[in-house]
Amino acid sequence: MSEYEFITYETVDDGTIARIMLNRPQARNAQNRGMLVELNEAFLRAEADDQVRVVILRAAGEIFSSGHDMGSKQYLAEWRPGPEQHASRKVNGGTRYASESLMLQEWHYFFQNTLRWRNLRKITIAEVQGSVFAAGLMLMWSCDLIVGAENAVFADVVGTRLGMMGVEYFAHPWEFGPRKTKELLLTGDSIDVHEAYALGMVSKVFPVDQLEAQTLEFARRIASVPTAAALMIKEAVNQTTDTMGFTNALNSCFTLHQLNHSHWAWKSKGERAVALPEDGVVDWRQAPPIVPAQKSTVRAESD
Ligand code: ZN
């Protein structure tokens, strides 16, 4: 398990089930570049291994993922020129300038990798607990099936905190539905695992202390399906949603995402590619807690 720094990889059940685990719990499993590159290697490793039938994507600690790492020392060291700069910052647009650079880097490491995992030639299951925020949703949505612990909550706060239209992999309308997507992005509010189940986004809800064991049992059922049938079922559904426009819609929304970054970069004279508090968003470092989207608003006693 030691060949990776930010994740772990193991196989169980005679190698038929691969388990990839985000392993940065001290940083709320925020996704730094090193983690994303390792995650891609791990998914491709599971895809190449003919013994593997099902891949479980899980996370160490109390929460699945708080989103992209936007400020840790690790992130800054990986990003900036220097001895610890990540190798991926010197290729795939990393040495270009301005919007071209950001667009290329996000295309490779945020957008296309997520799409690649969505199209993996194996059945994938996301096993989530606690917070699944912003880019945490992308990781989870790339999987064929999602199972959640009782305490799982889902939100994309990039609209209210960063002035962005959503994360790079804009699957929100396909997962939440169009109106719920608008509500959740315009408010930054969350939905819980039971609402996610009602929406059809989550397949199973397990007690927190049974999440790992129950997910493995669920994965065993899927692994018992003949691999040819499993792949055809996955591909039939993915090709159906592609015929409905899924991949094309995500491509065009990725372009909007880049326009959104360019707007803020222009506004801040190249300082930052996201909104600042002076632009009318809350400071994400001091932002109030994310609250559940309520069905109705209770009027104050004094009204
Ligand atoms: Zn972005």
3-state secondary structure 215-282: HHHHHHHHHCCCHHHHHHHHHHHHHHHHHCCHHHHHHHHHHHHHHHHHHHHHHCCCCCCCCCHHHCCC
Instruction: Count structural domains, the chain.
Output: 1
Q: Is 288 a domain residue?
A: no
Q: Is 188 a domain residue?
A: yes
Q: Is 300 a domain residue?
A: no
266: domain range?
7-279
Query: How far, in Å, from the CA of 98 to the mean position of ligand 1?
Result: 13
Predicted confidence pLDDT, tens digits, the chain (303 residues): 469 999 999 999 999 999 999 999 999 999 999 999 999 999 999 999 999 999 999 999 999 999 999 989 999 999 999 999 999 999 999 999 999 999 999 999 999 999 999 999 999 999 999 999 999 999 999 999 999 999 999 999 999 999 999 999 999 999 999 999 999 999 999 999 999 999 999 999 999 999 999 999 999 999 999 999 999 999 999 999 999 999 999 999 999 999 999 999 999 999 999 999 999 998 877 888 999 998 887 665 555
Q: Residue 201 and residue 151: Cα distance in Å, rounded?
A: 15
Query: How far, in Å, from the CA of 164 to the mean position of ligand 1?
Result: 8
Query: How far, in Å, from the CA of 204 to the mean position of ligand 1?
Result: 31
Q: Is 2 a domain residue?
A: no
Q: Is 103 a domain residue?
A: yes
Q: 149-179 burial, b for 16+ CB within 10 Å, e for fewer?
A: bebbbbbbbbbbbbbbbbbbbbbbbbbbeee
Residues in a beta bridge with 56: 19, 125
Instruction: Give the pLDDT confidence score for residue 199 in this predicted structure.
Output: 97
Instruction: Give the pLDDT confidence score for residue 154 in this predicted structure.
Output: 98
Q: Is 296 a domain residue?
A: no
Q: Is 145 a domain residue?
A: yes
Query: How far, in Å, from the CA of 212 to the mean position of ligand 1?
Result: 32
Query: How far, in Å, from the CA of 223 to the mean position of ligand 1?
Result: 35
Query: How far, in Å, from the CA of 87 to the mean position of ligand 1?
Result: 20
Instruction: Give the pLDDT confidence score for residue 284 in this predicted structure.
Output: 74
The closest of 184, 181, 67, 206 to 129, measured between CA atoms, is: 206
Query: How far, in Å, from the CA of 13 to the mean position of ligand 1?
Result: 38
Query: How far, in Å, from the CA of 220 to the mean position of ligand 1?
Result: 36
Q: Is 1 a domain residue?
A: no
| Residue 17 belongs to domain with CATH number | 3.90.226.10
